[in-house]
Structure 1
């Protein structure tokens, strides 16, 4: 797999202090959150965590990609939602890895059209392109 070359339109900048048990903030001040490991991983669970932040970004990005595809296909996706579930666990190769489940609810189209739209969105979503071939990503339609 070759590395994708892009013309950068925007660069997000965030800085973490104290890793998974600290704070993450963006350079423009719009994001400033406490991060803590979840209770399931021995943490306090008091703040958000990197997996929640990744799920939030992925779901928003995928919803945007779905909108692009829907406009091209002239499909009505009003009222639709995209949910990303990001799992973290030990990998067989050592260390930790991620797994993502993307589910979309698209109430104004039939199930077959919804599935086609989700599969096409997966081909254009920047998060999907970044993770393809690196982690398991499953797609479903509610």
Structure 2
């Protein structure tokens, strides 16, 4: 078994509404509680970072599945949305929606079915999606387009 280790250094000042910094090998930014949750809204926050982890893992997994399937995709982009609810002062990360847009040169019915199957497979096989399974609902809203000439 091969195990990979990732390290992040964090600092924090003040109380709940303070600010902090995070630094990893390829990431350095400020952090705080978002304004939507009555925080200062400086830098990023855990909600955005969880959404970012899930979205980037999904997108990379999807690109790898297309490559392994030898499907030529002209453009792959995505929007991701995270939904957090508050009940009795308790915050719950409920749902993430991946909204990939896949553009191909020539779209056939057969290719569209393959692309959809792989888009949903990416959500099932992504490491972060598997880690969140049972706690956060993850949905895919896939848009497949044919390139305009």
- What TM-score results when the alignment is normalised by the length of structure 2? 0.74
Is residue 47 of structure 1 aligned with residue 43 of structure 2? yes
Decide which structure has the larger Cα Rg and report it. 2
> How well do the aligned residues superpose, as a CA RMSD in angstroms?
2.6
Give the direction of change, closer, same or farther, for the CA distance of 1:39–1:78 in structure 2 (3 Å limit): same
- What TM-score results when the alignment is normalised by the length of structure 1? 0.77
8 Å contact from structure 2 (residues 21, 30) kept in 1: yes
Is residue 95 of structure 1 aligned with residue 90 of structure 2? yes
Is residue 74 of structure 1 aligned with residue 75 of structure 2? no
User: Structure 2: 5+ residue runs without aligned partners?
Assistant: 144-149
Aligned equivalent of 2:115:
114
Aligned equivalent of 2:3:
8
Give the direction of change, closer, same or farther, for the CA distance of 1:21–1:126 in structure 2 (3 Å limit): farther
* Greater percentage in strand: 2
Deviating beyond 4 angstroms after TM superposition, the runs of 4 or more aligned structure 1 residues are: none
User: Structure 1: 5+ residue runs without aligned partners?
Assistant: 1-5
